Structure 1
Amino acid sequence: MLPGQALTTAMGILPHRNLQEAQKLALDLDIPFWPQLPRLRYREDMYAQFAEHFPGIIMDEEKEILRFSHDRFAQELDDYLQASVIPEYFALSEESSAVFNTFLTQDLSSYRLIHGQTVGPISFGLKICDEERKPMIYNDFVREILYDFLHHKITWQYNQLKRVHPNPFVWLDEPGLEMIFNSFSAYTSEVAQVEYGAFLSKLPGPKGVHLCGNPDWAFLLNADLDILSVDAFSWGHILVRYVDEVKEFLRRGKIISWGITPTLTSELSCETVESLTTRLLELWKFLNQHGIDDDLIFDRSWLAPSRCCLINGDGTLSINHSFTLLKEISRKLCLR
């Protein structure tokens, strides 16, 4: 069972341009990770980072655009299928991550867990559009290859992390997942539930999903997940209303990572350790009042910043402050 009790972690994306500062920030948490640094270069963007070798992808680095071509997909598919039996074909290249290999050289033995991350298949497939501006996930065969592709990407990354630590995991960053519950989406939540479940069942190690939006939480709480990372600062009041699903999720020994410290400067400037701790405990109190024991909640909880943020005018200051508050909240909860 994964350890809980307010361990601190975070999503992968950071606004830093300095590699050492970014890695130090990540290593200061209880569950460290290798940072994604899209401000350093476009290839570190979450979507671009994991698009390498996907058949049919066209990357315009100058305009910072990813597109999908059905003609190119058809031309490249046979080569992809032949290469897909080679694990290194799915490696995270130096051009795509300036930090990954450095992270692997760190002494990580003192940490109970470490994590990596990748873009989730639903977000990836909805974000990248074809010649007719349709998300490529709408094509049944392309979607099948997409799920296969990210399964291989995750497996390769997990195996690299496993070489340096006994307890790694790779979680999926799914900012676009809430879109499948929109009536305008041609990829329905009913289809996604079946396909996503099959995808998760093939992944190595603990299975985690992070999203900063507000989906139908039952979809994820009922999925085969070990970790659900939530922007609790913005959406915690809605998540906790799925009382039955949350109760069953926690009783199965799963982890909720409560994203409680905001990362936007405007939000962060209004908060303190005390106010954010109170905000989180109010969410837990609601669950207490509906039959979920406080000890169980604490035992199955991690803490994280609420979301990734690249738009603050102060560069990295707000993010650094958010991480500092996070560690202080964790200490405060552990002393209760």
Structure 2
Amino acid sequence: MPIPGNLLTTAMAVMPHTDVDRALEIALSLDIPFWPQLPNYSYYEDMYVQAAEHFPGILLDIENKTLRFSLEKFIGELEETMSHFDEPEYFDISKTYSEVYHKFLSRNFSDRPAIRGQLEGPISFGFNIMDENKRPILFDDTVRPFMLEFMTKRINIQLSRLKKLNKNAFMFIDEPGLQFLFSAMSGFGDMKAKGELDLFFSMLDRPCGVHLCGNPDWDFLLNLNLDILSLDVYTNAEIFSSYASSIKRFIGRGGVIVWGIVPTGFENFEKENIASLINRLEETWQILEKKGIDIKYLLSKSLLSPATCCLVNPDKEKTVEKAFETIKSISAMLREKYRLY
């Protein structure tokens, strides 16, 4: 089923809350709700830890909040993991690894335009999980192919469960590591990455796409086989709008863009207001219109969200909650202005 557009609201999953029910209440206040990830509540709720459940070779220390990898342990546990490859439920997120997820699954979402889930993607997971030699497992030619298939199974089972609650469910593959993929320091060639990510997305059930807050190679990302792209346009508007031809091609084949416009960091949030944020957003759309993109069609393929997650504000969750309220106000005003009913 198609992902809704028309400037409806959703948000990034990582939230600073330590109250599970309050975080879920805030997530449910948006048009397209999601299950929050709450690392301040429990280390099990960290996005990398959640993605690592049942991954062979993982060394998880909850008390000291560390997540590492052992190749020797990987080899020892691989056969056991492979014995479960035909059991989809094995790859779902357990209650231990997310209390929030299972509370979300107990809700009725039949009246929502869509719902959304998420899981850390293989590039970011592979960059951040280090072996005994402090080498990212992404660079291990033995581990990486297994990791791609493992993450596919984890994403597909979650999407399957969400679709039972709402036929328009879709998934974000959270990939903050994509902004580092083509740096000289990454050691991972772009052609190799393109081929492996194309293979990865070809194995995923749909709809799904990428969420990230950084500044990657936008041409590369917009030309992947994605259904949706979520970005921090508050920070990256100027550079993103320079890729008009790729954006036009992306939405032309049905892709949806999530415009992350409201900052969640305390300092940036305090210096903005609804009018300034709408102006920033419309300036970006006007640039794209001048480059040949039909604005009416673009908005029909657009959602709105806060710009990023934020765990370090001095007021804890208060600014983040204000950002959620602000994006709802911006959505209502723009939907009225552009007659998106």
What TM-score bracket applies, with the shorter chain setting the length? over 0.9
For residue 136 of structure 1, what is the amino acid of its counterpart? I
For residue 50 of structure 2, what is the amino acid of its counterpart? Q
Cα separation, 2, equivalents of 1:20 and 1:195: 38
Cα separation, 2, equivalents of 1:196 and 1:332: 38
Is the CA contact 1:256–1:300 (under 8 Å) kept in the aligned structure 2?
Answer: yes
Is the CA contact 1:171–1:210 (under 8 Å) kept in the aligned structure 2?
Answer: yes
For residue 329 of structure 1, what is the amino acid of its counterpart? I
After superposition, where does 1:178-327 map in structure 2 within 5 Å?
A: 178-327=179-328
Is the CA contact 1:207–1:224 (under 8 Å) kept in the aligned structure 2?
Answer: no
Cα separation, 2, equivalents of 1:324 and 1:20: 18
Gaps of 5+ in 2: none
Deviation of 1:3 after TM superposition, in Å, equals 2.2
Deviation of 1:9 after TM superposition, in Å, equals 0.3
Cα separation, 2, equivalents of 1:90 and 1:129: 22
For residue 244 of structure 2, what is the amino acid of its counterpart? V
Cα separation, 1, equivalents of 2:38 and 2:184: 34
101-110 vs 24-33, which moves further: 101-110
For residue 152 of structure 1, what is the amino acid of its counterpart? K
For residue 2 of structure 1, what is the amino acid of its counterpart? I
Residue 15 of structure 2 is matched in structure 1 by: 14
Deviation of 1:262 after TM superposition, in Å, equals 0.3
Cα separation, 1, equivalents of 2:4 and 2:114: 9
After superposition, where does 1:8-47 map in structure 2 within 5 Å?
A: 8-47=9-48
Gaps of 5+ in 1: none
| SS in structure 2 at match of 1:53 | coil
Is the CA contact 1:230–1:236 (under 8 Å) kept in the aligned structure 2?
Answer: no
Residue 72 of structure 2 is matched in structure 1 by: 71
Deviation of 1:317 after TM superposition, in Å, equals 0.5
102-111 vs 259-268, which moves further: 102-111
| SS in structure 2 at match of 1:164 | coil
Deviation of 1:169 after TM superposition, in Å, equals 1.2
| SS in structure 2 at match of 1:304 | strand
Cα separation, 2, equivalents of 1:107 and 1:53: 29
313-322 vs 55-64, which moves further: 55-64
For residue 324 of structure 2, what is the amino acid of its counterpart? F
TM-score by length of 1: 0.98
For residue 10 of structure 2, what is the amino acid of its counterpart? T
Is the CA contact 2:127–2:177 (under 8 Å) kept in the aligned structure 1?
Answer: yes
Residue 150 of structure 2 is matched in structure 1 by: 149
For residue 107 of structure 1, what is the amino acid of its counterpart? N
For residue 277 of structure 2, what is the amino acid of its counterpart? L
Is the CA contact 1:119–1:174 (under 8 Å) kept in the aligned structure 2?
Answer: yes
Cα separation, 1, equivalents of 2:5 and 2:47: 27
The 4+ residue runs of structure 1 with deviation greater than 2 A are none
Deviation of 1:121 after TM superposition, in Å, equals 0.6
Residue 167 of structure 1 is matched in structure 2 by: 168
Is the CA contact 1:56–1:71 (under 8 Å) kept in the aligned structure 2?
Answer: yes
Cα separation, 1, equivalents of 2:262 and 2:49: 27
Deviation of 1:188 after TM superposition, in Å, equals 2.0
| SS in structure 2 at match of 1:50 | helix
Is the CA contact 1:263–1:319 (under 8 Å) kept in the aligned structure 2?
Answer: yes
Residue 109 of structure 2 is matched in structure 1 by: 108
Q: Give me the identity figure in percent.
A: 43
Deviation of 1:36 after TM superposition, in Å, equals 0.8
Deviation of 1:2 after TM superposition, in Å, equals 2.5
Cα separation, 2, equivalents of 1:238 and 1:325: 24
| SS in structure 2 at match of 1:259 | strand
Residue 57 of structure 1 is matched in structure 2 by: 58
Cα separation, 1, equivalents of 2:191 and 2:180: 13
| SS in structure 1 at match of 2:112 | coil
For residue 97 of structure 1, what is the amino acid of its counterpart? S
Deviation of 1:211 after TM superposition, in Å, equals 0.4
| SS in structure 2 at match of 1:253 | coil
For residue 6 of structure 1, what is the amino acid of its counterpart? L
Deviation of 1:189 after TM superposition, in Å, equals 2.1
Cα separation, 2, equivalents of 1:105 and 1:59: 28
Residue 93 of structure 1 is matched in structure 2 by: 94
RMSD: 0.9
Which whole-Å deviations, capped at 9, do the CAs of 1:53-85 have from their partners, x for residues lacking one?
101110111221111111111111111111222
Cα separation, 2, equivalents of 1:160 and 1:292: 36
Cα separation, 2, equivalents of 1:88 and 1:53: 12
Which whole-Å deviations, capped at 9, do the CAs of 1:104-136 have from their partners, x for residues lacking one?
111211111100000011000000111111100
| SS in structure 2 at match of 1:107 | coil
Which whole-Å deviations, capped at 9, do the CAs of 1:203-227 have from their partners, x for residues lacking one?
1121210000000001110000010
Cα separation, 2, equivalents of 1:297 and 1:163: 29
For residue 201 of structure 1, what is the amino acid of its counterpart? S
For residue 244 of structure 1, what is the amino acid of its counterpart? S
Is the CA contact 1:55–1:73 (under 8 Å) kept in the aligned structure 2?
Answer: yes
